[in-house]
Amino acid sequence: MVAASGLRSTPRPKTVIFSNSKGGVGKSTLALLMSLGLATRHQDASVKLIDLDPQATSSESLKRFCDRRFSVVNDSGLNLDDGAPNNEKIIQLIDAERNNKFKKRFVVVDSPAGTQPHRSAFLFQCDIMLIPTSVSDADIFATKKYLAGLHALFSQHEYRHTFAPPALIVLPNLVDSRDEFNELRHALAREQVYLGKPLYYSPAFRRAFREQRNDENIRIIFNQAQPYTLWLTSLLTQSHRLEKRPKKLFQL
Ligand SMILES: Nc1ncnc2c1ncn2[C@@H]1O[C@H](COP(=O)(O)OP(=O)(O)O)[C@@H](O)[C@H]1O
Ligand SMILES: [Mg+2]
């Protein structure tokens, strides 16, 4: 099944996966910004958000925007009984997007905390992986460990010759100051990944998932984070520009 997906003529949709073993680092917030950013910026494109988190943070918040271009999936079949991702089902879902009629197709995957790379073969099906982290020691430690797990997964022989691994980009989030960002950069200096632009702490983000009839909270966040969202969506649309694995930390 996995190998067959590479053989068809329609290209795979441009796919981004937000992931980190750590919770509370901004995966769902950034998946929300990415999904709405892509849908607003590319009016000729379809956007599908696949929310793998049983807590359904991003999908609950985004389902009110669903229309013929924008769809949200969150169901219990996406995870196995022991909590690991149902790789086959996720790959099928991404693959099924080939059949839709839109000129451009985007898939955004939001993952729960605690996922283990070695049980996540579906990670091979994306163009880029975005890995948010805060600057706290605990988050940096967990992120480094998670990156080591990803490198181990992507160097596995059985897949390496069939799929190009995605570009890995760490996204500094909840950052307080430029000094803090530099601290993170130092801490990750030896990692063979890309380092994204910092997203600073802003109280408006705390209200990102609040449901409101007029969506005022989303509008405020979007106005405030406009340059960042533009940059974030370009990462996906221009993903072919990212050489797959930098030799050392490469700041974007
Ligand atoms: N840049 C930010 N500034 C302020 N709060 C943020 C920011 N990014 C995320 N948050 C808040 O932090 C909490 C965790 O974010 P969330 O996206 O749910 O993380 P995850 O999906 O990784 O568990 C949420 O309450 C969210 O609103
Ligand atoms: Mg989340």
Helices (H), the chain: 27-41, 57-62, 87-96, 137-154, 157-160, 178-187, 216-224, 226-237
Work out which ligand 1 atom sits closest to the CA atom of 20.
22
Which residue in 248, 26, 55 sits closest to 135, CA to CA? 26
Q: Distance between CA atoms of 94 and 194, rounded to whole angstroms?
A: 24
69 CA → ligand 2 middle, Å: 23
Where along the chain do its domains lie?
4-238+247-251
239 CA → ligand 1 middle, Å: 25
Token reading at 81: 């009984």
Mean pLDDT by 10 residues, the chain (252 residues): 53 96 97 96 97 94 93 94 95 94 96 95 96 97 98 81 87 97 97 97 89 80 94 97 88 96
pLDDT at 208: 83
Token reading at 30: 């950034």
Ligand 1 pocket, residue 22 CB under 6 Å: no
Token reading at 40: 């607003």
DSSP secondary-structure letter at 175?
Answer: B
> Residue 132 CA: which ligand is closest?
1
Q: Distance between CA atoms of 210 and 48, rounded to whole angstroms?
A: 21
Ligand 1 pocket, residue 105 CB under 6 Å: no
pLDDT at 236: 98
Contact 16, 167 (CB under 8 A): no
Task: List 71's β-bridge partners, or say none.
Answer: 48
Q: Distance between CA atoms of 53 and 55, rounded to whole angstroms?
A: 5
Q: Distance between CA atoms of 52 and 83, rounded to whole angstroms?
A: 10
Work out which ligand 1 atom sits closest to the CA atom of 23.
23
Superfamily (CATH) of domain 4-238+247-251: P-loop containing nucleotide triphosphate hydrolases (3.40.50.300)
126 CA → ligand 1 middle, Å: 23
Contact 127, 236 (CB under 8 A): yes
DSSP secondary-structure letter at 138?
Answer: H
pLDDT at 1: 45
pLDDT at 9: 67
Q: Distance between CA atoms of 79 and 2, rounded to whole angstroms?
A: 17
